[in-house]
Chain A
Amino acid sequence: MDARESDAAEDAALARRVIATADTEAEEALCRRLFPRIRAYGRRHTRDDAIAADLAQHVLVVVLEALRAGKIDDVDRLASFVMGTCRNTLLDWRKSERRRLGLLERFGPSFTRAVEPVFFVDRRRLDKCLAHLAPREMSIVAMTFFAELEGEEISRELDMSLGSVRVARHRAMKQLHECMTEGA
């Protein structure tokens, strides 16, 4: 059983406890497990820490509500339900603002203790790690994350093939990830 299957099985077991007995300990544990995953999804889709954290809170409220109401038929596919909720939430975010606040008030206590601090990057360390990148790689990551350029645009501006841009960008991100987590 790989990490995903093991996580999914544990999620499903907790979900069953919530459905069966509205077990608040199980709710808390489930929130603690799902929160960072939803936040990661939110970060990827919004590139904004605050919105990602809000999304995680909102989606957890909806998931708990659905579990308590017995609306999730197949808890073994909980991730599909969570993903659909994430997607719809981002689409309907503004329209659902009022409802979100109401639900937060109603279900908030179950997950407020489960919220982990956001993984903030140590800027000083990142600054040092960036200094070790090759100039071309530094240009590529700056163009990607600051100027928000697509790979094709970067390849045109740096006179490189798209494949070379991607290879260099992957190499840079792996190097930065290693540098940032070294000794962690």
Chain B
Amino acid sequence: MIAEETLLMLALGELSDAEADEADEHVLACGECAARLERLMAIGIGIRDLVRAGKTWVVLGPSMLERLEHDGLVSRTYRIRPGETVPCGVGTDDVYALTHLEADFTDVRRVDLVVRGTAMRVEDLPFDRARGEITFVERSDHVRTLPTSMIRFALVAVDATGDRTLGEYALSHTAYAP
């Protein structure tokens, strides 16, 4: 059996050409390793297909956003500054709703998103310090299930001293009407 870590590196394209050749040859002679590699590759293909089908909530960097927009998967875009409320809705054919949350991330190491009025807290979101924003896409199939409501949330900087609110935001959502 090849080491699990090596198989993962092979699946993720992290081995050098020579190492990959050696691992490929091993896989071609080992049914168990081939089965495991195939499962890993299938998971990767599955993730790609789910993202493409609009079935994920994910924080993005610029290249990923570019790709989603290029593929026509971003249906609506919201940009919210701290303290703002922005109206939002959803249509039948929408795939993803894109949201930019602006904030000042100077000296911030970790950011959590807290949904007000619920126990929901999403920890350690990737953020773009230079642009001063967190960008994420929400799946529209989920948005279509939401009632008309005000969705309030906050970005919170977390460090050893505790929480510090970076911004309060609100989306005034109108329920989907088919």
Contacts and interface: CB of A to CB of B under 8 A. Distances in A.
B12 A144 contact: yes
Contacts of A121: 42-43, 45-46
Contacts of A79: 25-26, 28-29
Contacts of A41: 24, 27-28, 34
Residue of B35, B44, B123, B125 with most chain A CB atoms under a 10 A cut-off: B44
Interface string A119-147: 11101001100100011101101111111
Nearest to A37: B34
Contact of A130 (B47, B126, B129): B47
Contacts of B60: 139, 142
Interface stretch (B49-57, B79-87, B164-172): B49-57
B58 to A, nearest CB: 5
Contact of B125 (A126, A136, A166): A136
Interface of B is mostly: helix
Interface stretch (A64-72, A92-100, A149-157): A149-157
Given A37-B31, A130-B50, A173 B123 contact: no
Residue of B52, B55, B126 with most chain A CB atoms under a 10 A cut-off: B126
Contacts of B1: 2-4
A80 B59 CA distance: 43
16 contacts: A4-B33, A37-B34, A44-B37, A49-B42, A79-B26, A86-B24, A119-B38, A126-B47, A138-B56, A139-B58, A139-B126, A142-B51, A144-B47, A147-B67, A170-B12, A176-B43
3 A-B pairs closest in CB distance: A157-B61, A121-B46, A79-B29
